[in-house]
Amino acid sequence: MADNEVLYQVDGHVATITLNRPERLNAITRTMLDNLGASLLQANQDPQVRAVVLTGADKAFCVGLDIQDALTGNSIGSEQTNSSVQVDLDLRKAPPTVLHHMDKPTICVLNGSAAGYGMDLALGCDLRIMSAQAKLSPAFVKRGVVPESGGTWYLPRMLGWSKAAQVIFTGRMLDLSSCLELGLVDFGFSNDEEKHEAMGVVEEICNNAPLAVQSAKRLMRMGLAEGFNDHVHHVFLQFSQLARTHDFKEGMRSFMEKRPAHFIGK
């Protein structure tokens, strides 16, 4: 497999990760899974990076796992890989797991359609920006499988039980209007100007204190699995650490001096 099937680029404080297999609509191969997981980890560990943008090359975001390769026995889901998956199921570096545990904010730019695994990847990001030409296709049950990479965890939390049931049980294609109505995406665009405007949220995130943003995300994740009293305790611990940072003092000074803050992530 080509090494350039997942592209990684850092511009300022933004790391952009691009699925780069446009001739197959960015269908996922095993090599791409490994490279994507490694790229996400790299962005999360880079102190320069304050936000991560995940997108796809050309006309699609990601149409899911490469079914054609699987049918020929060369990729995920093939008979050759099934036996090894059953005895060696280590998902710690798999992209959905890495996405879930990342502290850096993640923004999925759906430049084109997402199906199956591609849709689950998009749901794993914190925010989604979607082209009017794109569609989400939760067609898992139409292929005899389930959302295997986070969809059954994300959708009930994002939509509530009954709406998640509609999306998963019907496998119905969702256009931008439907996604905005359901709350599956945050911003839509139909041209370059609208896309640039929507992408302003990335710059806005990067202009804030990065340690505070990352702590807030970490606390939100923890809050999904703990009671209020435990959560308040964890919030206080995070706050007490942030109160000792340069950025906390800069935030207070800039407010009093009525000027934009200059945060350095320390």
Give the pLDDT band (50/70/90) at residue 1.
very low
Tokens of 194: 């609208």
Tokens of 236: 């206080």
Specify the 3-state DSSP secondary structure of 60: strand
- CA–CA separation, 32 vs 43, rounded Å? 16
Region of 183 please: left (phi>0), alpha (psi -120 to 50) or beta: left
Q: Which of 31-45, 76-90, 140-154 has the highest mean pLDDT?
A: 31-45
- CA–CA separation, 59 vs 113, rounded Å? 8
Q: What are the tens digits of pLDDT across the range 197-235?
A: 999 999 999 999 999 999 999 999 999 999 999 999 999
Instruction: Quickly tell me which residue has 């082209």 as its tokens.
Output: 131
Q: Is the dihedral of CA 152, 44, 105, 118 positive or negative?
A: negative
pLDDT value of position 69: 64
pTM for the model stands at 0.90
Q: Is the pLDDT of residue 57 over 90?
A: yes
Task: Give the mean pLDDT of 138-147.
Answer: 88
- CA–CA separation, 262 vs 223, rounded Å? 29
CB 118 within 8 A of CB 136: no
Instruction: Quickly tell me which residue has 């049918």 as its tokens.
Output: 71
CB 63 within 8 A of CB 115: yes
Task: Work out the number of other CB atoms within 10 angstroms of the CB of residue 35.
Answer: 23
